Structure 1
Amino acid sequence: MDDDIEDNADTGVLDPEDTLEDGDPYDEGYSPPERPLATRDWGTTAAEEAAGESWAGRLARELPEIRATGGDGLGDTDDTDGELVDDEVGDFRAGRLVAANAGFGPDAEAELYASDIGIDGGAASAEEAAVHVVNPRDL
């Protein structure tokens, strides 16, 4: 057999000279979580492991109960202070916004005008993704 294959095998941790970080990953240590995980889940005791778990119990743990929402999805969130729901919030996402001079040269306009030139491969920044189009006829 060829011994070179085992030398090139992936052992999980790179040598320090092969990384871009200074320091040894083995010297960093481990910080345990603030609270114990899964101490109240099924199967943490030997008696539960020996008895086994019913299929109904396992499915109830793994598949969340789907609740029907009684709304249109706007303004009825329960984990925030609420959403803006008014006529100034558009339904369609805008793409890249470019100045009237296509982004070249000095800006001579006193007003802020821009044109939507389409989504750039879907890789918009958070600010660009927050801009939505409002149809003037809907105002």
Structure 2
Amino acid sequence: MSAGESQGNGVYQPPADAEPGDWQPDMENALDEPDLDDTLDTGYSPPDRPRAVTRHGTTAGEQREGETLDQRLAQEEPEPDPSAAADGGSEASPDEDLGEPVATGRDDRGEDVTADPGGDRSTAGRERAGRMTAPEEQRPVRHISVVARDAGIDGGAASAEEAAVHVIETEDEGRGGA
């Protein structure tokens, strides 16, 4: 060992011939939350709407005044019913979970007011599709068609591409199926 070369305690030094991957910590075994990598891979897209700009306390004067208990109770949002999803009911959209009205594309009389005046369902479906997953059973590929099932909307955190997929009923399905 030369005088210009410093050496620490050998316990804390990586072996000289070791690859970097051999001595770097594995993130799966690190002391953090389990499945943290899965959460980061999944991601979350927040809804594009203002949340609290109309609520009390957005200005300095309102913050100094404070708010009454009645005002705070009026802002509470009900918890979603976990038994409704467990009973096989459809998942509620994020807007329904927040107690906010959902835009249905219909006016008070029930008439369609979307941008499709003729109601041509062949251009775009009215119902949003969920996540497409491959069926569990393995089928032999006999033709070019792809078989998938609708797994439902995954918590409403779909990408723009997934949210753009809509269900289009064919004429046979609209008449009760063939």
- TM-score class, shorter: 0.3 to 0.5
TM-score normalised per structure 1: 0.34
